[in-house]
Chains A and B, each alone.
Chain A
Amino acid sequence: MFETLEAGFMTTIQDGGRIGYQKLGITTSGALDEFSRRCANALVGNSREAAVLEITASGPTLRALSNCLIAVTGAELAPRVNGNTLPTNMALYVRPGSLVEFAAREWGARAYLAVAGGFETPPVLGSRATDLRAGIGGIEGRALQAGDSLTIGTPRGDIFSRAGLTLAERARIFLRDDSPLSVVVGPHRDFFSDAALQVFFGSEYRVDEASDRMAVRLRGEKIERRMGEILSCGVAPGAIQVPIDGQPIVLMADRQTTGGYPIFGCVIRADIPRLAQKMPGEAMRFEEVSLDVARAKYLKMEQVLEQAI
């Protein structure tokens, strides 16, 4: 069990998401950087579905009340155990009474803390993911608060033997890539001219302060589009909506399940983790890829995950 002394800026329980209910208006939620979540679980020997803490920018202060094996992946937020540096991307054994905290943000936006056995909050509709807007999942449908006790499940296998395990090199460097984010164009391609496409793929965009788990709002060159709206329709994570003001909105894990803005394209799944690690003010570029390339990159990401330990 962990005790929460300080909650951090935005810390939530997340797993792989709530699947099967989008038709009812219930979004998937889940980790914004699913790659890092799965790496953290792999390090501590959890199943893929196990719930972790998603930690945003400024992390919590937790006290371990039992022996446990933990791992922190994703953003570099200078984790410490009892004041000593806790290396990221590594499984570490923590004794009862130990204090885990995050001293400073060095890189990235979201870190993931997995514990062997997983965080055990009551599943809602098959998932422990926190849906803040609907107020379900995780800890009573809300972010972590000081005073919260976090229950841990039974670890799979012997935790001591896993201490010191690290991520394979390819997994370790996966997020550290400044290449443009890949986008599959469409389905509302007819709302945009060829010139508009060129502008989007030729420009730098920055993350706006108003971004959150629902969407990354981008600021940059306006994407010209024709007037009119689409009838509300389903969406997907990574979908890039373009309202009349021409500033793109990239939908993320807590997106509304349907939308009425035309969708310019979708950031590919394999690049959503890098997008999720961008802080407000940070910049990115995009490149168009074919569906085949998008799928190939997805399969490659899955391969990196399978061989992560």
Chain B
Amino acid sequence: MTESPAPVTDLLHPTLLPLGEAALIVEFGSTIDLATNLRVHALAHWLDANPHPGYLENTPGYATLVVHFEPRAARFDDIVNWTRAGLTNIHIEMADESPVIEIPTVYGGEFGPDLSFVAQLNRLTERQVIEIHSTPIYRVYMLGFAPGFAYLGELPAEVAAPRLDTPRTRVPAGSVAIAGRQTGVYPRESPGGWRLIGRTGVRLFDASRESPTLLKPGGRVRFVPV
């Protein structure tokens, strides 16, 4: 019981398991990859568009979807059957094609204290790191950790960098950051272990807005150097 089993990804036959008696978890796999994640979002959107009695909401993960429901209004088996119906009706071509959200970013200097580390680690100049980081259109794999905190991928391997050994106790709000092959933005000041390469003034979370987070699961994002 010491080794991890080999990662499994079965997009067509995910595992459906209870998460307590008021939630179901759909497990597509155990790797971070775009095809799996698009399927998570396609299923989430289908469930929202075709709600079952008792359905409350869903929580997307990299390769999983948690479906929350009210047990008085539905049995676990009802939710399973409804979710399976969704699985047969979705395609990853249903990916979110809403407009790409642009995040104006000031890179480096006091706003990106780890930019030089990332550059040196990858034998690049800071300018090259900025160019590589700001070129792709990223997908929002999921949100979590804090309101509006989006895990974006896939970061080009050339600028990947590990987390800090010891997290900072205070990461400024709007910090644009890297961890492994992911990138993201801290919506509020918080502790954090990601490498900080820039800062944005855009508000990622505002509870007074009808749509309280700028970034949504499955959405697309690009960083724009300013």
Residues of A within 8 A of B (CB): 19-26, 124-125, 133-134, 136, 184, 186-187, 190, 192-193, 224-228, 230-239, 256-259, 263, 266-269, 291, 294-295, 298-299, 302
Instruction: Indicate with 1 or 0, residue by residue over B97-110, a CB within 8 angstroms of chain A CB atoms.
Output: 00000000000000
B20 touching A23 by the CB < 8 A rule?
Answer: no
Cα–Cα, bound, A150→B44 (Å): 39
Number of contact residues on B: which range applies? 35 or more
A230 to B32, CA, bound (A): 11
Across-interface contacts of A302 in B (CB, < 8 A): 72
B114 in the interface (beta carbon within 8 A)? no
Compute how far the CA of A291 lies from the CA of B23 in the bound complex, rounded to whole angstroms. Answer: 11
Q: Find the residue from A25, A186, A231, A237 having the highest chain B CB count within 10 A.
A: A25
Contact A23 B60 (CB under 8 A): yes
- B25 lies within 8 A of A25 (CB): no
Interface of A is mostly: loop
Q: In the assembled complex, which residues on chain A have CB atoms less than 8 Å from the CB atom of B65?
A: 234
Which of B20, B58, B62, B72 is close to A266, meaning CB atoms less than 8 Å apart?
Answer: B20
Closest 7 CB pairs of A and B: A234-B59, A234-B66, A258-B144, A266-B20, A233-B61, A228-B4, A294-B21
Contact A258 B59 (CB under 8 A): yes
B16-54 interface (Cβ within 8 A of A): 17-23, 25, 27, 30-32, 44
Residue of B nearest to A25 (CB): B143
Contact for B17 among A25, A186, A227, A228, CB less than 8 A? A186
Minimum Cβ distance to chain A for residue B97 (Å): 19
The chain B residues found within 8 Å of chain A, CB to CB, are 1-5, 17-23, 25, 27, 30-32, 44, 56-66, 68, 71-72, 75-76, 142-149, 151, 205, 207-208, 212-213, 216-217
Residue of B3, B76, B151, B208 touching A232 (CB-CB under 8 A): B151
Assess the A291–B18 pair: CB atoms within 8 A: yes
Interface CB pairs A-B, < 8 A, 26: A19-B57, A23-B143, A24-B143, A25-B146, A26-B213, A125-B207, A134-B146, A184-B21, A186-B18, A187-B27, A224-B1, A225-B1, A226-B3, A228-B4, A231-B30, A231-B63, A232-B144, A233-B25, A234-B25, A237-B20, A257-B143, A266-B19, A269-B22, A294-B20, A295-B76, A298-B71
B148 proximity list for chain A (CB < 8 A)? 24-25
With the chains together, A298 CA to B72 CA distance in Å?
A: 8
- Residue contact A236 to B75, C-beta cutoff 8 Å: no
CB distance from B53 to the nearest CB of A (A): 15
Q: Give the CA-CA distance A133 to B205 in the complex, in Å.
A: 13
Asked if B145 contacts A231 (CB within 8 A), the reply is: no
- What residues of chain B lie closer than 8 Å to A256, measured between beta carbons? 144-146
Contact B59 A23, beta carbon cutoff 8 Å: yes
Q: Are A184 and B3 in contact (CB-based, < 8 A)?
A: no
Chain B residues, CB < 8 A from A298: 21-22, 71-72
Q: Are A136 and B207 in contact (CB under 8 A)?
A: yes
B64 to nearest A CB, angstroms? 4
Which residues of A lie under 8 Å from residue B64 when comparing CB positions? 231, 233-234
Q: Give bound CA distance, A184 to B76, whole Å.
A: 13
B72 touches A22 (CB 8 A): no
Contacts A25-B147, A233-B25 given; indicate if A299 touches B20 (C-beta within 8 A): no
Please measure, in the bound complex, the distance between the C-alpha atom of A24 and the C-alpha atom of B148, giving whole angstroms. 6
Most central of B5, B20, B23, B142 by chain A CB within 10 Å: B20
Chain B residues contacting A226 (CB-CB under 8 Å) are 1-4
With A134-B147, A226-B1 known as contacts, the answer to whether A22 contacts B212 (CB < 8 A) is no
Inter-chain contact B21/A268, CB cutoff 8 Å: yes
Tell me if B213 and A24 are in contact (CB < 8 A): yes
